[in-house]
Amino acid sequence: MTGPMTMNRVIHAAVRRDLLRLSTALSDWQDGDCARGVELERAFANLHAELHHHHEGEDTHIWPMLASVGVDPLLLAEMESEHAAMAEALAATSTALGTLAGTGSAADAAAARASVGRTRQVVERHLRHEEEELEPQLAPHHGSPEWKAVEKNLRSRSPGDAGRFFAWLTDGIPRRELTFLRSAVPPPVIFVLARVLGRRYTRDIAPLWGASTSRR
State the pTM of this model. 0.93
- Please list, in sequence order, all residues whose beta carbon lies within 8 angstroms of the beta carbon of residue 205, skipping any fewer than 6 positions away: 42, 43, 46, 168
Q: Per-domain residue ranges for the chain?
A: 9-157
Percent helix, strand, coil in the chain, to 5, is 80, 0, 20
pLDDT for position 51: 95
Instruction: Please check whether residue 41 is in contact with residue 97, taking contact to mean a CB–CB distance below 8 angstroms.
Output: yes
**How many angstroms separate the Cα of 62 from the Cα of each of 5, 110, 154?**
18, 37, 9
* Tens digit of each residue's pLDDT (9 = 90 or more) over 168-191: 999 999 999 999 999 999 999 999
* Reported confidence tier of residue 212, pLDDT bands at 50, 70, 90: very low
d(CA 18, CA 33): 21
- The domain 9-157 is placed in CATH, from the list 4.10.1240.10, 1.10.3720.10, 1.20.120.520, 1.10.10.10, at 1.20.120.520
As a whole number of angstroms, the distance between CA 128 and CA 55 comes to 15
Exposed e or buried b per residue across 1-23, where buried means at least 16 C-beta atoms within 10 angstroms of its C-beta: eeeebbebbbbbbbbebbbebbb
Classify the phi-psi angles of 117: left when phi > 0, otherwise alpha if psi is within -120 to 50, otherwise beta. Answer: alpha
CA neighbor of 57 nearest in space, from 151, 130, 131, 145: 151
Mean pLDDT of 148-177: 93
pLDDT in tens, 39-62: 999 999 999 999 999 999 999 999
